[in-house]
Amino acid sequence: MRLKDKVAIITGAGLGMGRAGSVLFAREGASVLIFDLNEKAASETESIIKSEGGKCAVFIGDVSKEADVKAGVEEAVKQFGKLNILYANAGVLWKDRDKSVIETTEENWDIVQAINLKGAFFLTKHGIPYLQKAGGGSIILVGSISALVGFTLAQDSYTCAKGALISLAKSLAVQFGPDNIRCNIIHPGMVDTPLQEPYLTPEKKKAIGDSLPLKRLGKPEDIANTALFLASDESSWMTGAELIVDGGFMAT
Ligand SMILES: NC(=O)c1ccc[n+]([C@@H]2O[C@H](COP(=O)([O-])OP(=O)(O)OC[C@H]3O[C@@H](n4cnc5c(N)ncnc54)[C@H](O)[C@@H]3O)[C@@H](O)[C@H]2O)c1
């Protein structure tokens, strides 16, 4: 029960790492507001948590829309009375539209930024005042190894959004540390989730896994466990940090 009596909002909680994080946080005693635009996926996450006796509620919204995020944050407080953890997990990787700067339209650049970067801006903008009210809290942002190295198959808007989140994590850490609010960022390597599904055949997955020091792709739970550590009091002297969770990719 490492998150006993805590309230968390997790964006992109319908699938992938967000679902794994929601289930794990609820198992550890948190009440979880599942925020996602995919209604079916969100209600599946809800069913898993409720079948295990956990506490959660669903809010259907789009992280790129400020009014949705504000309403989602308010719903978490209405349902559970307070807010302690903001987990800005929602993101999209659209390799068909987001490519090199010389191939990407302005419209596609902007929408990728709006979901991957502005979503975290809205969540922290509207969530931090509640964390202050609660006497502190933990903010978890999700970057990517794409923000740390260049890739020959570019997704430049995604990469830049994830890079900007590193700066946001450090700025929030410094600004709100005195309020006992911590902010850290996780950089996942390649994790086997629905986000990667359109781009990976089973053969490709195996080849990428074999190329890593730890010889496998990541599982959503690998990232959820890291987020749990950052959400819990076990990381109470950590802020502004970047945690790379990538099977050793960045070490090679
Ligand atoms: N999977 C990877 O290999 C990988 C690697 C590095 C970073 N990441 C990052 O990790 C995070 C989670 O990725 P994942 O692989 O679990 O993704 P996923 O596609 O499996 O799940 C993402 C969830 O976010 C939701 N979502 C998408 N756009 C949304 C929006 N505008 N508003 C609300 N919800 C929205 C989707 O409906 C889905 O439920 C993302 O930020 C992603 O960029 C993933």
| Residue at 201 is within a domain | yes
Distance 91 CA to ligand 1 centre (A): 4
Mutate to test the pocket of ligand 1, among 10, 17, 34, 97 (most ligand atoms within 8 A of CB): 17
CB 148 within 8 A of CB 187: yes
Distance 16 CA to ligand 1 centre (A): 7
Burial tier of 215 (Cβ tally within 10 Å: 0-12, 13-18, 19+): exposed
Atom of ligand 1 nearest to the CA of 18: 16
Distance 67 CA to ligand 1 centre (A): 20
- The tally of domains found in the chain comes to 1
Atom of ligand 1 nearest to the CA of 158: 43
Structure-block tokens of residue 149: 């190295």
pLDDT tens-digit readout, 133-178: 999 999 999 999 999 999 989 999 999 999 999 999 999 999 999 9
Residue 206 pLDDT = 96
Ligand 1, CB within 6 Å, residue ranges: 11-12, 14-18, 36-38, 41, 62-64, 89-93, 115, 142, 144, 188, 190-191, 193-196
| Residue at 2 is within a domain | no
Interatomic CA distance for residues 75 and 91, integer angstroms: 21
Is 158 an active-site residue? yes
C-alpha dist (Å) from residue 252 to 106, 146, 185, 219: 34, 15, 21, 20
CA–CA–CA angle 198, 200, 201 (5° rounding): 110
Q: Which of 87, 130, 158, 199 is catalytic?
A: 158
Residue 34 pLDDT = 99
Interatomic CA distance for residues 221 and 72, integer angstroms: 24
| Residue at 252 is within a domain | no
| Residue at 1 is within a domain | no
| Residue at 187 is within a domain | yes
**CATH (domain of 151):** 3.40.50.720
Mutate to test the pocket of ligand 1, among 86, 193, 204 (most ligand atoms within 8 A of CB): 193
| Alpha carbon nearest to ligand 1 atom 30, residue | 62
| Residue at 129 is within a domain | yes
- Number of Cβ within 10 Å of residue 115's Cβ equals 24
pLDDT tens-digit readout, 37-50: 999 999 999 999 99
| Alpha carbon nearest to ligand 1 atom 19, residue | 195
Interatomic CA distance for residues 141 and 165, integer angstroms: 7
| Residue at 19 is within a domain | yes
Beta bridge partners of 141: 88, 185
| Alpha carbon nearest to ligand 1 atom 25, residue | 12
Distance 53 CA to ligand 1 centre (A): 26
Distance 11 CA to ligand 1 centre (A): 9
pTM for the model stands at: 0.98
| Residue at 251 is within a domain | no
Structure-block tokens of residue 77: 């407080």
Which parts of the chain register pLDDT below 50? Answer: none
Could you tell me the residue range of the domain that residue 113 belongs to?
A: 7-246
Residue 182 pLDDT = 99
User: Mapped to the 3 state alphabet, what secondary structure does the chain carry?
Assistant: CCCCCCEEEEECCCCHHHHHHHHHHHHCCCEEEEEECCHHHHHHHHHHHHHCCCEEEEEECCCCCHHHHHHHHHHHHHHHCCCCEEEECCCCCCCCCCCCCCCCCHHHHHHHHHHHHHHHHHHHHHHHHHHHHCCCEEEEEECCHHHCCCCCCCCHHHHHHHHHHHHHHHHHHHHHHHHCEEEEEEEECCECCCCCHHHCCHHHHHHHHHHCCCCCCECHHHHHHHHHHHHCHHHCCCCCCEEEECCCHHHC
